[in-house]
Structure 1
């Protein structure tokens, strides 16, 4: 059988999949399904994927359906560069700007985790009045002229080449300054109820993921010069981005994930913080 693996279409994990496909190539045993986090969330929930790095919020919301791959995540201990809130006014002046310019605050539809994080920071850290939230297509935020959340490669491009007149807030930096903990944007989610054959294949995949993420630094220079990377991103900028990311799910990352779950519960986004169930 073919183990169906979700593949996030973002540079924050492109290099991991590039190396992973070298040892677990597309074929009878392993199949890769690309998509942004929200699309992969839906595919996991419908049973169309067996495992995927996907939104941590998806796990927290539907933990009864899933297991977590131990030790694996996509997280940031300080800046993340690719989960950004862009505002036409500084945060301190944003309530007045919204009063003068009535309308929504826009959320990309690509990530449930990042949308929940913005809502938590908005209320619990920044103490801003509740806005009207509106979901927009990924990449559409800038054209609205409204404050907006963007993620992924589009957000990274805004970070590297800031649009004139916009104030950029890195949400991972805000979380770390507020809590002192890493923020876990994605976890490797395993669909429960896999067959024995699929679980054996997944065990081998897990070992390769662990080996690759433990030795990423040794591959950075060569990977950053590959021709299929975007032309708007220099090699030094890409290396800075990759070095901002972390792929562990150890005690500090688990503490950050648990705190996020508690904050989402206070915000009314979750019914409660679930336990963490591990694939073994």
Structure 2
């Protein structure tokens, strides 16, 4: 892990760039769920017109080599941009976040509105209100205006409207599994696998929402259900059994659809 003093110095370099509003430690290290070799995620919260050349200079100042932060959208429509760098040999991910989008998604989260969007690296889709969740979970390193503090205060505890909406949205899983049953009868393994996976991921999102636990990406989402105080401890094992037993004949595929349909669901 990078020493705290180095993190603080990097945050000072970044916050000095005109247009940078705040810098935060994010990801598993902010949540305390990291492994020893987990990357350091630095969220850099910016005005839309931030000078990205100056931002690249600041990100490179303590890195082992020069890095370039691209224009907005260069990492896809929902991740903006950033840079992968190394500080004293340790991997650091600098992730740019547009505060206009953060504000928009914070408002949507409070209203109980959300959607998943196509985005590289997010197989289910990027959860738009994750922009709000990141602020709720992050550890501010530089927040001179109190922006992160003020946004986080709106999001703690987890918004009740978003909790209810995540659970109510599970009607989609029944629709998906109805279609999967027809595909299973035709031994369409790929379709069934996709439908079952989408179902269990949405169930996992709903369980986290029911427990008022923010989710910011799909990694570790299903295993995480078993660690929630209100959720079935064997949820992850049951999901693994379903996906591992798909096969390529109608009978096991239909069984998988039926098992996915029987997985426990949270209630409002």
Q: TM-score range by the shorter chain?
A: under 0.3
Q: If you compute each CA radius of gyration, which structure gives the higher value, 1 or 2?
A: 2
TM-score by length of 1: 0.21
More RCO (CA 8 Å, sep 6+): 1
TM-score by length of 2: 0.21
